[in-house]
Structure 1
Amino acid sequence: APRRCGRLRAARKGRRPMKLAVVKLGGSTAFGTHLHEWIDALAAARLAITIVPGGGPFADQVRKAQKPIGFSDSAAHAMAILAMDQFGHALADLSARFVPARTCAEIAEASAAGRIPVWLPSAMTLGNRAIPESWDITSDSLAAWLAGRLGGEALLLVKETANFSAEDDLDSLARRGVVDACLSAMLPAGIDFHLAGPEDAATARALLAAGKLPGVRIGTPVLARNAG
């Protein structure tokens, strides 16, 4: 398995001993009514968070174009990751505290400076053999993979759906399409996994400012493992 990002872990042991969380802001929020509410909430976080963008409308265009053009799932995978980069650039532009980050070192540097890194995943994931080139891998699984690389303690997926509850687990969520099919395999063992939906946006700022995560905690299967 690839080694973790030592510089970020060292920074956490220094002057900013905060809980480390990866927060995936779903691409479905791009045109949702709560996007700017979530941006404001995340910018107020008193957690060491790294934001992972979904693919949003940019990935939707990849899906739409694949059949008529006829490119492979491997090409579509690369294009969808670049779509996440595009949404990431958009998100990073919406708060003065946010800053784009492509690598472990850039994430560590931003966090140490009190900024909130918005991960642009292409540099770390394109061509990476640990990541299947398939539509079964979405920003859900990539956020889980990044949490493993960073030594994260929590993963929060912000969705534009309320079709989940604390009674769910990863398997039931995957069966209903709330999370992608590979999340269970990619999620690091022992991590706190949370889901939040549109109804959580109103209380998210106060919770994040208090060092807590919004949404509900989801139980994870015993077989959830760190895929590296």
Structure 2
Amino acid sequence: MNDPRPLPATVVKLGGSLLELKDLAARLRGLFSLLDKTGGIATVVGGGPAADLVRRWDEQQTFSDREAHWLAIRAMRLTEELVAIRAPECGNIESDRGEVREMLLYNRRVILSIEPMLEAAAKEFLPRPAASWDVTSDTLAAWAAKYLGVSRLVLAKSVDPPAGGLAAATEQGLVDPMFERSAEGLEISWVNLRSDPNHVVPFSD
């Protein structure tokens, strides 16, 4: 799935719970100022309240796993656009793998549009995450990093990383059940963007 030429870039997963921050753009500027040294930055925006709405619908309706999964992914389009407006530091919304790779090679910043990226991968018969509530934007960010050929992934969360590494994060529900497996081979870091956007720490088992 990866391009043979690894990119000197970083994928940032921006947790949906952070979208409520009034100073989100300023916090992202602080984070990006640290990550700029490692190349371009591609941001995956979590579904946040939009995905939570789909969860409530799923509790009230009879959706298949696939239907609920794709409704939640389409909800991410709304949060992607929200971040593009509130935090232009993140760049434009992009989905074409070739174009994104080129932009990252030139140290640009982009917001990844996950739905069309998944659709493009399907047309290429490339692996995609399962259609399940066990897959959230955490796993989608790990998938996107590998799809783009990026080895660094930063999880921007509202909490500090747990002491027990990925296993503890999974057990505590801080990442989804599929994330640890999906992120194998990636260099993962964690930042509590709510408290300290300048403190990015390595994170693994």
How far 1:69 moved relative to its partner? 2.6
d(CA) in 1 for partners of 2:149, 2:104: 14
From 51, 74, 85, give the equivalent of 2:77: 85
In structure 1, the partner of 2:114 is 121
Larger strand percent: 2
Q: Which residue number corresponds to residue 223 of structure 1?
A: none
**Count of residue correspondences:** 195
- Amino acid paired to 2:153: L
Identity %: 29
Equivalent residue, structure 1, for 2:170? 174
Structure-2 separation of matches of 1:89 and 1:61: 17
Of 91, 95, 102, which residue of structure 2 is paired with 1:102?
A: 95
Given the alignment, which residue of 64, 68, 74 partners 2:60? 68
Q: What is the alpha-carbon distance in structure 1 between the residues aligned to residue 88 and residue 32 of structure 2?
A: 7
Match of 2:21 in 1: 32
| Aligned pairs for 1:1-228 within 5 A | 3-5=1-3, 9=5, 12=7, 19-42=8-31, 44=33, 45-46=36-37, 47-93=39-85, 94-95=87-88, 98-126=91-119, 128=122, 130-162=128-160, 164-165=161-162, 167-189=163-185, 191-197=186-192, 198-201=194-197, 203=198, 214-220=199-205
Query: Equivalents in 1 of 2:11, 2:114: separation in Å?
Result: 13
Alpha-carbon distance in 1 for matches of 2:18, 2:53: 16
What is the rounded CA distance, in whole Å, between the counterparts of 1:182 and 1:80 in structure 2? 16
The separation in 2 between residues aligned to 1:96 and 1:32, in whole angstroms, is 15
Q: Structure 1 stretches of 5 or more lacking a match?
A: 13-18, 204-213, 221-228
TM-score computed with the length of structure 1 as normaliser: 0.76
Task: Note the residue ranges of structure 2 that are not aligned, 5 or more in a row.
Answer: none
Higher helix share: 2
Are 1:58 and 1:83, in contact at CA under 8 Å, matched by a contact in 2? yes
Q: Which deviates more, 31-40 or 129-138?
A: 31-40
Structure 1 Cα separation of the partners of residues 170 and 89 of structure 2:
35
Contact 1:194 1:218 in 2 (8 A): yes
Q: SS where residue 117 of structure 2 aligns?
A: helix
Equivalent pair of 1:54/1:139 in contact (CA under 8 Å):
yes
* Secondary structure in 2 matching 1:174: helix
TM-score when normalising by structure 2: 0.84
> Secondary structure of the residue that 1:180 maps to in structure 2?
coil
Asked whether the 8 Å contact 2:12–2:141 carries over to 1, the reply is: yes
CA contact (8 A) 2:142 2:182 kept: yes
Partners of 1:43 and 1:116 within 8 A in 2? no
